[in-house]
Structure 1
Amino acid sequence: MSGADWLSYSLQDFIMFGPDVFLRLYVRINHALWPWHPLLLVLTLAIPWLLCHPRPGCRRLALWLVAAAWVGSGYGFLVQYFGPINWPAELLGWAFVAQGVGLALLAGGGDNDPLDHRSVIRFGLPWLGAVVLLPWVAVLQSGQGMALALFGLVPDTTVAASALLLGVFSGPARWLLMPVPAIWLVFSAATYGTLHTYWLLLFPVAALVLAVLGLWISPRRARNPGRQSARPDPTDRSREFPHH
């Protein structure tokens, strides 16, 4: 096949399913999870509270819950449901699993600072919007109540909410967490545009907005001034010769 022949193809020629078939995947995975939806929602809503807890174990648990969401949405939705009708989705599913394992290792390998009160609001409100409002986007697109795109169940809401974690990690760890979500955003936006499921394009848009908010949170910057003020000033010699 010549290069001119390849140029005659569009993305639609490589997607061998229609929007109804794809939207049915959301319904099928929700039916498979029922009746565990309330437990999943409680664990999801507990993540901001755990991240601001002074105990390191609670903060690690929060990140492990997010890691489990990546594994669950990657293997459950992408590998088990989407993969059989779209082979790149299966590859992405295993990338999601690897991302979840990597996040779990990062969470267990070091101590993450708790969110301060200001950062809790900055993190908690967007998190609440992501995990409570975003799942209804798939319902709007499909018209079926059982098409909820829950965090930890489908990749779109999982990626969007997890983008806020850019404010929890710093340094190289932050950038190591970005390639898989970035690839998913491009893949999902191209898929939804090709299927003309335009409501679903709100997922990648929301993920980009939440990523910006995640970088703005940065609880480590909020903590640093306190630590610096606690250090002795090398130019202040009054500490060496206290007044009696």
Structure 2
Amino acid sequence: MSTSSVWLSYSLQDLLMFGPEAYLRLYVRINQDFWPWQWPVLLLGLLVPVLLQRPERGLRRLAWFTIAGAWCCSGVGFLMEYYSQINWPAMGFGWAFVAQGVLFAFIGLRAGEPVSKVQRRGAFASLWWLAILLLPGVTVLEYGSARAVALFGLAPGVTVAATNLLPGLLNQRLSWLLVPIPLLWMAFSAATFWVLQTYWLLAVPVAGLLMLVLGFWLSPSPAQSPGLRSARHDPARR
């Protein structure tokens, strides 16, 4: 039998060296090891949509740095330190999450105010809160214990789903750089959950994709943003 035919005989199930129980226990372990610091992170996460829409530059920076920290923490903490022990591609995704966090930190240093221009501010805040308050319960349903709750800032799936609202709201070319890593992660995690037959967990990447679409739907058009329209069309002032 040739080498190529041997590889073709493998399925995705054969490449996973762990089961649903081993995966879900990662959330139990990280919650135990990080106790009680995940709760201040969650509190900051709840404040993000409010801080992003504040006129004070320092508060907006705090929001962006919170988002950057959530990506880095879920990348280094969950993916590199825990998940990579049972699934080797998680290490590469961990570094990708750190890179995404650096991009968000760069946006924070610029401290622009694109999100404050959103006309549907209430919808943006509501979607954000739904993501970080409801999606953590998916792992609880699958595992059967609150100890496996997947919290924003530690769990990569919830972190991705919430922050997927942001690329569409950024009025700059840098926003498109924020899309590839979430898409790759959602595809990878959806495939993993399907093979593990942890069907409740599929709600997380599906919600993440929906949030990405809704983020672009919430993005203000030139007609909704007089400031942008005037900047583009008004004649130069003397």
Distance of aligned partners of 1:4 and 1:115 in 2 relative to their CA distance in 1, 3 Å threshold: same
Asked if the contact 1:112/1:168 (under 8 Å) is kept, the reply is no
TM-score by length of 1: 0.89
RMSD between aligned residues: 2.2
For residue 58 of structure 1, what is the aligned residue in structure 2?
A: 59
Question: 1:40: how far off?
Answer: 1.9
Counterpart-to-counterpart distance in 2, 1:206 and 1:185: 10
Distance of aligned partners of 1:220 and 1:101 in 2 relative to their CA distance in 1, 3 Å threshold: farther
For residue 43 of structure 1, what is the aligned residue in structure 2?
A: 44
- Structure 2 residue 97 is matched with structure 1 residue 96: yes
SS of the residue 1:187 aligns to: helix
For residue 33 of structure 1, what is the aligned residue in structure 2?
A: 34
Distance of aligned partners of 1:220 and 1:70 in 2 relative to their CA distance in 1, 3 Å threshold: farther
TM-score by length of 2: 0.91
For residue 190 of structure 2, what is the aligned residue in structure 1?
A: 189
Aligned pairs (5 A) from 1:115-134: 115-116=116-117, 118-134=119-135
Asked if the contact 1:77/1:155 (under 8 Å) is kept, the reply is yes
Question: 1:47: how far off?
Answer: 0.2
Question: 1:8: how far off?
Answer: 0.6
Asked if the contact 2:118/2:219 (under 8 Å) is kept, the reply is no
- Structure 2 residue 209 is matched with structure 1 residue 200: no
List per-residue Cα deviations over 1:165-199 (Å, max 9, x = no partner): 02331332111011111110111011101111110
Stretches of structure 2 lacking an aligned partner (at least 5 in a row): none
Counterpart-to-counterpart distance in 2, 1:127 and 1:116: 16
Asked if the contact 2:71/2:156 (under 8 Å) is kept, the reply is yes
For residue 163 of structure 1, what is the aligned residue in structure 2?
A: 164
% same residue: 50
For residue 241 of structure 1, what is the aligned residue in structure 2?
A: none
Stretches of structure 1 lacking an aligned partner (at least 5 in a row): 235-244
- Structure 2 residue 4 is matched with structure 1 residue 3: yes
List per-residue Cα deviations over 1:85-125 (Å, max 9, x = no partner): 11101110111011101211122135233525743212100
Counterpart-to-counterpart distance in 1, 2:115 and 2:24: 38
What is the aligned length? 235
Q: Bigger radius of gyration, 1 or 2?
A: 1
SS of the residue 1:151 aligns to: coil
Question: 1:42: how far off?
Answer: 1.3
Counterpart-to-counterpart distance in 1, 2:203 and 2:233: 50
Asked if the contact 1:47/1:65 (under 8 Å) is kept, the reply is yes
Higher mean displacement: 112-121 or 98-107: 112-121
